[in-house]
Amino acid sequence: MSGFLHVYGKVSGQSFPLEKLTRQTLGALIRELEKRVRFHQQQPSDLLADALESRNFLMHHFFLERGEQFDSQAGRFSLLSELLTIQKRLDNGRVVVNAMRIALCEALGIEDPHAADYADANG
């Protein structure tokens, strides 16, 4: 998300320093994105909302509410399954934002300044 806002800032003449963006919470980044981008379909917004909800649940409730499940093998498998679902929801949000960044760069004919970051992480 910070990568998209950084590129958006470059092409729009607005200042979105990457150092500042990377320190913002996911919720703050989504609110910033929603100020600047309108989706014609609800699905991208829903995927971002799901990612935020999943992230917040994982950080603030998951381990507190499921501590007793660590005591059994069946409980641990259930936790693992739930974590995989959360991972999928987070990945869906990441894919939406990365696709938006790539499409913006391609539409404007500019080099994606974050392409190497993602190539290194996935290579």
HSE on the CB side for 53, CA within 13 Å?
A: 10
What does the pLDDT look like over 38-77, one tens digit per residue?
777 778 888 999 999 999 999 999 999 999 999 999 999 9
User: What pLDDT score was predicted for residue 58?
Assistant: 96
Is this prediction's pTM over 0.75?
Answer: no
- Residue length, the chain? 123
Rounded CA-CA distance 12/118 in Å is 23
> What average pLDDT does the structure give for the chain?
84
First to last CA, the chain: 20
50 is written with which tokens? Answer: 């799901």
Number of structural domains, the chain? 1
**pLDDT band of 97, cuts 50, 70, 90:** confident
Domain housing 14: 2-122
Classify each residue of 81-103 as buried b or exposed e, where b means 16 or more C-beta atoms within 10 Å of its C-beta.
Answer: eeeeebeebbebbeebbbebbbe
Assess whether pLDDT exceeds 80 at residue 116. no
Least confident of 49-53, 83-87, 116-120: 116-120
